[in-house]
């Protein structure tokens, strides 16, 4: 039985073992199975502690409110409407910044220093069309992590400079009482008290009619935006999918799991041709468009979850005109 963690890194640990994968300490006479069942666990624990992995604790998944798809027939004047930003969901739990899945986001200390000790829901956003940049920054780890891996100060300076371009765009107060209109007033007061350029409230406005709503949507998309969000004025903050929070786009989007890679042909020879993906309902299809050349050279890993856009489905439930958008954040 081999332990994949036992390799070159273990030689830095003061432990009386030969660190070769197949070696055993000299003079060793105990039953090896017993050694593995007890001492092996102890060794792995020491490895985790030595490598600093024990400090990478993860929070429970935040209990966030999620949107459903817009539908016609609404009393549109009862809704606040804002642009749907193409950033990374950020949840401030009162002490630290977390992703939608509960992973810590290692923002610089100055970025969150003046945030209140109450939960905030928002989007980490740079500007339109910069999702990949902010997503890469969020995944890059903290400055201390970078230094421990031997990266240069120049790399860390670039990372700090990138965070200077990020704004935490707030749109709700998780678990706070009151209607959405009341929570908006609280958010305005919070943003004013924080008084930092990178902590902002997403602009909310009223629209007078369905035609005005669709005209605004077309304008946002034409300018490089993703779509609109509609939030009922009297809505309470509830965990999970809510019919009081709606997303409106010129296309639909959904998520699927990558289960295979198909090689490219012609100008894409040696690169990705298409992803084979599977939806949560078991529908399998190919995603062959929407990729940059860099993404084709380094395609999403098998097992990862990707977001795609499409316009309707076939009689068999297969998304029509499906196109890759992004890899889902962990």
Structure tokens at 275: 């992803």
State the Cα–Cα distance between residues 185 and 115, nearest whole angstrom.
17
- 257 catalytic per annotation: no
State the Cα–Cα distance between residues 274 and 290, nearest whole angstrom.
10
Which SS3 state, helix, strand or coil, does residue 89 take? Answer: strand
State the Cα–Cα distance between residues 312 and 62, nearest whole angstrom.
31
How many other CB atoms are found less than 10 A from the CB of residue 256? Answer: 23
In sequence order, the 6+-apart residues with CB closer than 8 A to the CB of 191 are 170, 199, 200, 201
- Kindly name the residue from 8, 56, 72, 84 that is annotated as catalytic: 84
Task: Calculate the alpha carbon distances from 312 to 216, 255, 271 in Å.
Answer: 22, 14, 29
State the Cα–Cα distance between residues 22 and 223, nearest whole angstrom.
60
CA atoms within 13 A on the CB side of 322: 27
| Catalytic positions | 84
């Amino acid at each position: 039985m081999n332990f994949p963690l036992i390799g070159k890194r273990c030689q830095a640990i003061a432990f009386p073992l030969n660190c070769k994968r197949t070696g055993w300490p000299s003079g060793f006479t105990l039953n090896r199975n017993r050694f593995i069942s007890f001492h092996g666990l102890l060794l792995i624990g020491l490895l985790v502690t030595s490598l600093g992995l024990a400090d990478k604790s993860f929070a429970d998944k935040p209990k966030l409110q999620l949107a459903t798809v817009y539908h016609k027939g609404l009393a549109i004047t009862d809704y606040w409407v804002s642009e749907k930003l193409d950033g990374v969901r950020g949840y401030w739990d009162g002490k630290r910044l977390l992703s939608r899945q509960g992973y810590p986001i290692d923002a610089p200390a100055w970025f969150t220093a003046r945030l209140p000790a109450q939960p905030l829901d928002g989007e980490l956003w740079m500007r339109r069309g910069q999702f990949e940049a902010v997503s890469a920054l969020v995944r890059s780890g903290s400055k201390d992590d970078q230094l421990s891996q031997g990266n240069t100060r120049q790399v860390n300076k670039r990372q700090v400079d990138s965070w200077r371009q990020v704004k935490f765009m707030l749109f709700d107060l998780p678990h706070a009482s009151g209607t959405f209109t009341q929570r908006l007033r609280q958010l305005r007061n919070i943003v004013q008290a924080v008084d930092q350029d990178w902590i902002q409230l997403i602009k909310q406005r009223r629209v007078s009619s369905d035609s005005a709503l669709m005209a605004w949507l077309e304008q946002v998309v034409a300018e490089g935006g993703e779509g609109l969000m509609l939030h009922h004025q009297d809505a309470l903050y509830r965990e999970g999918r809510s019919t009081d929070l709606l997303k409106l786009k010129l296309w639909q989007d959904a998520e699927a799991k990558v289960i295979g890679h198909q090689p490219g042909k012609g100008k894409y020879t040696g690169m990705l041709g298409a992803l084979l993906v599977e939806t949560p309902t078991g529908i399998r299809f190919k995603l062959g468009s929407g990729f940059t050349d860099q993404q084709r050279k380094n395609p999403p890993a098998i097992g990862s979850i990707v977001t795609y856009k499409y316009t309707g489905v076939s009689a068999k439930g297969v998304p029509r005109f499906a196109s890759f958008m992004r890899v889902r954040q962990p």
